[in-house]
Each structure stands twice: as C-alpha cells, then as structure tokens.
C-alpha cells in the first residue's frame, strides 16, 4: 500500500466507513446471497431464472443491460430480488446469518479485515455503509460488532418480503453518512472499491481505495488516496 501524501496533515476521523462487496469480501453479496437462498430452498426453477438474469453471455442479460441504461433501474438486481418474494423477514435474516458463516467466511479480504481489526482495537468508531441488502449486512455487522447502514428490503403487513426495496443505498451513501456525523463537515475516513463511491471518497479526510486492475487505477487517477492493490 502507498501512503497518501494528505495523511500527513489531517484531522482525526469521526467515523471510519467500510464498503462491503469487493472491499471486505470477494463477493457481490446481494447476488451471492440470493443464489445461496435459492439453493437452500431447493428452488430449481428459480435458480434457472437467476442464471438467466445474471449470466452476462445471455441475450436476456444484454437486453436488461440496455434497459438499465435507459431507465436507470438495476434490472438484474430487481428481478433477482423478486425471486425471494413472499419469504418472511425472520427467515431471510436467518439465511443471512447462515450465508455469513457458510459462504462469506471463505471470501474474506485479509488486507481490509486487518485494517478494520486494527481500528477496532484502537477504539475507533466503524460503520459498514453498503448498497447490499439488510439480511446480509446485518449478519456481517453482528459478526464484526460494528454499526451498519445499507439497502433495505420492503415487507408487507405480515412481514413477508414484497420483492421490492424500501430503501436503495446506491448513490445515497454520502447523504446517509452526513446524517450520522456530528455536523455536516465532520471528518471521516472511507475504504471502498466502488466507482460509484467517488463523491464519498473525495469528501473523506482519509481515503483507502481497493483496486483490482489498471482500469481501476486509471479511474481513481487524481484522487490522493492509499491504494490497496488486490487481484480478483
């Protein structure tokens, strides 16, 4: 890792913010969780639909890609979430705990987990800020014993999942974070790999950016950060 030049003269962060997918774990946790649940339930037909919605070589996926460009809706995510419609909140959260223990435990990114552990040991305040869904993020936050904010599933009056999101965190992380700080301009640190988090990274007083390839390095060119270089 390269020490960023700005680290020499910065205020102490009030919060240390960590992304989850491909930052703490080698996983797109929302899709991996859905696939995990479908397999556990034995829903073969829905597993086939999941494959259709997410297989990048599928003509259907290509069509969804162009539809997403036009509508600004993440159609693969929306359709895959719909496969879990009708499951209870309690069952989804139990699956989240099983997913964390059985799947994510094998996908941990050592470098960022060590950083998080060092910060916890030093008594720093840590929050997971992710566009992943609450059954997954709640399980991870419980395991790591930290706070979290994330996308949230919508439930009906009987606590059954409607197939929709009540809250989508994509593109809203900085807005959410500002509400957690003691004041609007309070200093914070962030660790992420997401291109969509650029505004969050630029607003941080300490920046740790996970990169997997030259394309990512080029995207973050001009941002003074400590880069954590990994291979997928």
**In contact, 106 and 113? CB cutoff 8 Å:** no
**Hey, what are 164's tokens?**
């929709």
pLDDT at position 57 is: 81
190-204 b/e with 16+ CB inside 10 Å = b? bbbbbeebeebbeeb
Q: pLDDT category, 94, cuts 50, 70, 90?
A: very high
Q: pLDDT category, 1, cuts 50, 70, 90?
A: low
Kindly calculate the radius of gyration of the chain based on its CA atoms and give it in whole angstroms: 18
Nearest to 125 by CA among 151, 148, 152: 148
pTM for this prediction: 0.92
Most distant CA atoms of the chain, gap in Å:
57
pLDDT at position 73 is: 84
Nearest to 151 by CA among 122, 128, 124: 128
The domains of the chain are located at 5-26+108-229
**Hey, what are 35's tokens?**
């696939």
The topology (CATH level 3) of 5-26+108-229 is: Rossmann fold (3.40.50)
Q: Where are the beta strands (DSSP E) in 31-125?
A: none
Q: How many CA atoms lie within 13 A of 158 on its CB side?
A: 6
**Hey, what are 159's tokens?**
């606590």
pLDDT at position 10 is: 72
pLDDT, averaged across the chain: 93
């Amino acid at each position: 890792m390269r020490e960023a030049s700005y680290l020499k003269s910065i205020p102490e962060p009030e919060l240390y913010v960590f992304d989850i997918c491909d930052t703490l774990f080698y996983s797109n946790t929302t899709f991996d969780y859905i696939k995990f649940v479908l397999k556990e339930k034995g829903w073969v037909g829905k597993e086939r639909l999941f494959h259709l919605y997410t297989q990048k070589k599928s003509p259907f996926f290509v069509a969804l890609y162009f539809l997403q460009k036009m509508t600004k809706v993440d159609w693969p995510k929306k359709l895959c979430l719909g496969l879990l419609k009708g499951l209870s909140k309690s069952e989804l959260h139990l699956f989240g705990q099983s997913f964390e223990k059985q799947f994510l435990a094998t996908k941990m990114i050592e470098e960022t987990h060590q950083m998080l552990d060092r910060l916890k040991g030093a008594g720093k305040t840590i929050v997971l800020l992710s566009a992943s869904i609450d059954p997954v993020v709640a399980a991870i936050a419980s395991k790591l014993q930290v706070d979290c904010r994330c996308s949230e599933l919508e439930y009906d009056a009987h606590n059954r999942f409607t197939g929709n999101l009540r809250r989508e965190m994509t593109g809203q992380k900085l807005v959410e974070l500002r509400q957690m700080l003691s004041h609007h301009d309070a200093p914070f640190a962030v660790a992420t790999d997401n291109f969509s988090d650029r505004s969050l990274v630029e607003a941080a007083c300490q920046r740790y950016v996970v990169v997997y390839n030259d394309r990512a390095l080029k995207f973050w060119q001009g941002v003074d950060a400590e880069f954590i270089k990994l291979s997928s």
